[in-house]
Amino acid sequence: MSSSSSGYYLLDRHIQRWIMRQRWPQLRPIQEQAIVPIQEGRHDVLISAATASGKTEAAFMPALSAILDEEKRCAGVPPVLIYIAPLKALINDQYNRLDTMLAGTDIAITAWHGDTSNSAKKRFLTSPSGVLLITPESLEGLFVRPSCSIEHVFKGACHVIIDEWHAFIGTERGKQLQSLLARLDIAIRRQVPRIGLSATLGDLSIACDELRPGNGDKVITLEDKSAHQDIRMQLRGYEAASKKRTPMDKACLDIAAEDEIAGNMLSIGDHLFSTLRGHSNLVFANSKRLVEILGDMLHRKTEQQQLPEEFFVHHGSLSKELREYVEKTLKDSQRPMTVICTSTLEMGVDIGSVHSVAQIGEPHEVASLRQRLGRSGRRGESAILRLYVLEKEFNPGISYADALRLHLFQAVAMIELLLARWCEPPIAGALHLSTLQQQIMSVIAQHGGATARDIWRVLVEHGALGRHP
């Protein structure tokens, strides 16, 4: 470790040894900046940095050092580090990462979701300590769990790390999480420092206000602006021409051989097949149906040419076993593998580095395109993006809107905004009345009953559901 990395010597010796095993020459700037404010344990911190910039380690290394501190552990209340993620797959991924970070220590790691055994959950509830990895829904389950005392379970809470913070802002799920964190503070009669992590934030001030409603100006913001990555980009436009299909074309379609969308994907499928074979890639489509169409098409082409299978699909409707097989193989295997997916592989889950990213149709947001592009070029190489746009065939009777090639126009605009390092600011400030109703029922279930005054105090007066424009 370089002597210029002063923050390294502030970390616990177990974390220092883990860093040395990673053979890092030095800590990254965002990691250096995060050590002091997080280890002090008195501040909320927002870390905004590009994908693969080390922001997850920036949060975990000082937070873990804090719970490894012998003085804190001997103070009578075992510390608990809470990690909240929007996806169960992210929790499993972080569990494996933390397992290596904490090797040789007695710090317990508990992944709490539907696949966690009852014995592991009971063990944590009986003696809460260490690291708890959980989703917002499972956290709420603890609040309403019979014979579970939130005051007892989280009396040693030292930090709350919220991964992919941008995915929560402005949503009902995000408002639910805000309310739960406020109720946690009320239950243990102190504020637990919050650490928000995100790679795509268009307005840090809004993100800070959402992280600590009413006190966003006190949140410490750490933004990594130094990360620079070369991008190789190709935008390919196709006309949805009506043409007579050859027997080979029809053989590459699924059972709905005359399906308009499937038919129009033939040329794009040909280019994906010839270009992506031999490397590991991600192909993002905007719907599960399109993922299945492309996956089936590329699989049939592979069979026709009697080549090894390289194309797989990944979306939320697949079984857990199939999804985990694709994720593990993509990360660990040395053989080429291209995965056609929805947004399921956009966030967080560590799948290693892929050679390139392809996007079928313009994405819905620049932030989403930026997140997806971050999956490529993670070993010092250029990120590669191929963007495929399908427009209607031009003819004299075409509408003015179709003649403007709006999909192509939007794709070009998104690329220019991406290169300008702009992304959409989060949308915040809605009333979220449905979440208020749900939280009222949750408070009643937690306490076995509640007065209107108690509900007002917990959810509105001192909670997160009373603040809106």
pLDDT for 243: 52
Q: Which residues of 354-382 are buried (b: 16+ CB within 10 A; e: fewer)?
A: bbbbbbbbbbeebbbbbbbbbbbbbeeee
196 and 64 assigned to the same domain: yes
For 26, residues 6+ apart whose C-beta sits below 8 A from its C-beta are 1, 2, 4, 5, 8
pLDDT (mean) for 451-462: 94
Is pLDDT above 70 for 120? yes
High-pLDDT (> 90) share of the chain, % = 57
Is pLDDT above 50 for 317? yes
Is pLDDT above 80 for 347? no
Output the CA angle 390-396-398, nearest 5 degrees: 45
CB 211 within 8 A of CB 46: yes
Is pLDDT above 80 for 201? no
Q: What is the band of 227 on the pLDDT scale with cuts at 50, 70, 90?
A: low
Pick from 194, 227, 260: which residue ends a domain?
A: 227
223 and 275 assigned to the same domain: no
Q: Which region among 216-220, 225-229, 315-319 has the lowest average model confidence (pLDDT)?
A: 225-229
SS3 assignment, position 166: helix
Is residue 356 in some structural domain?
yes
Is residue 462 in some structural domain?
no
Is residue 352 in some structural domain?
yes
Is pLDDT above 80 for 251? no
Is residue 280 in some structural domain?
yes
Is residue 295 in some structural domain?
yes
212 and 246 assigned to the same domain: no
In the chain, the number of structural domains is: 2
Output the CA angle 410-414-416, nearest 5 degrees: 120
User: How high does pLDDT run on average in the chain?
Assistant: 87
296 and 322 assigned to the same domain: yes
Predicted TM-score (pTM) of this structure: 0.86
pLDDT (mean) for 233-257: 62
213 and 239 assigned to the same domain: no
pLDDT for 258: 41
Domain encompassing residue 193 = 6-227
Q: What is the band of 429 on the pLDDT scale with cuts at 50, 70, 90?
A: confident
Is residue 444 in some structural domain?
no
165 and 302 assigned to the same domain: no
Question: DSSP for 59-115?
Answer: HHHHHHHHHH-HHHHTSSS--EEEEE-S-HHHHHHHHHHHHHHTTTS---EEEESTT
pLDDT for 226: 64
271 and 222 assigned to the same domain: no
pLDDT (mean) for 352-375: 88
Strand locations in 323-430 (E): 338-341, 356-360, 383-392
258 and 221 assigned to the same domain: no
Q: Is the dihedral of CA 304, 307, 308, 312 positive or negative?
A: negative
Q: Give the other-Cβ count within 10 Å of 467's Cβ.
A: 14
306 and 410 assigned to the same domain: yes
Q: What is the torsion angle, in degrees rounded to the nearest 10, for the CA atoms of residue 251, residue 254, residue 256 and residue 257?
A: -20
Pick from 179, 197, 227: which residue ends a domain?
A: 227
193 and 306 assigned to the same domain: no
356 and 399 assigned to the same domain: yes
Ranges of H-type helices in 361-419: 366-373, 400-403, 406-419
Q: Give the other-Cβ count within 10 Å of 320's Cβ.
A: 11
pLDDT for 401: 75
The CATH number of residue 101's host domain is 3.40.50.300
pLDDT in tens, 369-425: 988 888 887 666 789 999 999 887 777 777 777 778 888 999 999 999 988 888 888
42 and 174 assigned to the same domain: yes
Is residue 85 in some structural domain?
yes
Is pLDDT above 50 for 469? no
Is pLDDT above 70 for 293? yes
Does residue 468 or residue 188 have the better pLDDT? 188
High-pLDDT (> 70) share of the chain, % = 90
Q: Which region among 74-78, 256-260, 328-332 has the lowest average model confidence (pLDDT)?
A: 256-260
Is residue 18 in some structural domain?
yes
Pick from 377, 404, 419: which residue ends a domain?
A: 419
Does residue 4 or residue 5 have the better pLDDT? 5
Is pLDDT above 50 for 43? yes
pLDDT for 253: 47
